[in-house]
Amino acid sequence: MKSATTDGLDRQLLHALAIDGRAPFRRIAPVLGVSDQTVARRYHRLHSTGSLQVLGRLDTRRSRRADWLIRLHCTPGAAMPIADALARRSDTSWVTIISGGTEVLCVTQTRTRQQRDELLLDKLTRTSRVVSVAAHCVLHTFLGRPTPWSGILTALTPDQEDELRPSADQPSPVTASEFGAQPGDEALLELLARDGRAGYGELAAATGWSQSTVKRRLDHLRASGALYFDLDYDAALFGIEMTARLWMSVTPWKLAAVGAALAEHPETAFVGATTGPANLTATVLCADADALYDYLTMRVGRLRSVRSIETTPIIRTVKRAGVPRRSAS
């Protein structure tokens, strides 16, 4: 489905939701200087085109769940069906077709070692149209969830941002590994992972709790940092036409410094240290191929500790952080 076009107000709304994905429209509207109805219309237009979703997430830094980057080399013509199948799984995100159209890249986060092994050692390796599988564990995130891409945070003033920030309550710490202590926690997360703006009535029906209990539990998990709200959006809304994944080999003792430097670049949306031949990977967003060339030669090229780099353009995105894109089916 074609992405919605955007203007300054849309970008202000996206910025506002990046600060607080569950902020009521009635709280956003006066900050943007428009009516509640206008904000609601803008949101629903972006949401209906598949260009925008708000998703509830556990902070993986607080849990024992690791993110894995999986690269699949496929036989000609097999990449799209395999990407579609991966996109339908609940444990995958960022399913993309890269390089020459025969390679699929996705992120997976399995809850148990058994689930990980079943996917990596059994299901994928037994798929006849998969030529090879490479899995890289993300060891450290320099930039990425829950921190949004800086390009989305350019439409509001600091004063407007302050008006939209959630209250800074300081409850007792809750780790993501402790999430599930309440009987309805898993149902709560499952629904929020599909729709981070689900109403309290819908959340109450899913968990079996009262609406007041849902609100208290949600506020507590969120304020503790165990739960956050991710903005899943189409980068084309910001004029981004060239997205690429970089795989870099960095001198080990310089890895932290290079990762931190990349995280400061406005072109990067994700930077992480990984296992495998490339020990640092990044997702970069550029206006076009010329801008990507300038970034690689003038910014990345000046990082002397980068010994080698592989650039894989993203040809098609089948699934971002949320549900599969409708055009993929």
The DSSP-derived string for 129-192 is TEEEEEEEEEEEEEE-TTSPPGGGS-SS-HHHHHHHSPP--------GGGTT-STTHHHHHHHH
Q: Which of 95, 114, 142 is the last residue of a domain?
A: 142
134 and 67: one domain?
yes
Task: Quick: pLDDT tens for 198-209.
Answer: 999 999 999 999
Quote the pTM value.
0.88
CA distances from 144 to 100, 138, 253, 271 (A): 26, 12, 22, 7
241 and 289: one domain?
yes
Task: Quick: pLDDT tens for 157-167.
Answer: 999 999 999 87
Q: What is the pLDDT of residue 64?
A: 62
- Asked whether residue 32 is domain-assigned, the answer is no
- Asked whether residue 242 is domain-assigned, the answer is yes
188 and 238: one domain?
no
Count of alpha carbons within 13 Å of 116, Cβ hemisphere only?
A: 17
Q: Is the pLDDT of residue 327 over 60?
A: no
Which long-range contacts (C-beta less than 8 Å, at least 24 apart) are formed by 115-119?
115/91, 116/68, 119/91
Least confident of 24-38, 60-74, 154-168: 60-74
Q: What is the pLDDT of residue 178?
A: 61
Confidence of residue 184 (pLDDT cuts 50, 70, 90): confident
Any idea what the CATH number is for the domain that residue 216 is in? 1.10.10
Confidence of residue 261 (pLDDT cuts 50, 70, 90): very high
- Asked whether residue 171 is domain-assigned, the answer is no
Containing structural domain, residue 126: 61-142
208 and 246: one domain?
no
Residue 229 token pair: 């709200």
Any idea what the CATH number is for the domain that residue 138 is in? 3.30.70.920
Q: Report d(CA 206, CA 184) in Å as an integer.
A: 8
Q: Which of 122, 142, 162 is the last residue of a domain?
A: 142
Structurally, the chain folds into a number of domains equal to 3
- Asked whether residue 302 is domain-assigned, the answer is yes
70 and 138: one domain?
yes
Mean pLDDT of 15-26: 96
Q: What is the pLDDT of residue 90?
A: 81
251 and 217: one domain?
no
Average pLDDT, the chain: 89
- Burial (CB count within 10 angstroms: exposed 0-12, middle 13-18, buried 19+), residue 181: exposed
- pLDDT above 70 covers a percentage of the chain that reads 88
- Asked whether residue 56 is domain-assigned, the answer is no
Least confident of 107-116, 158-167, 175-184: 175-184
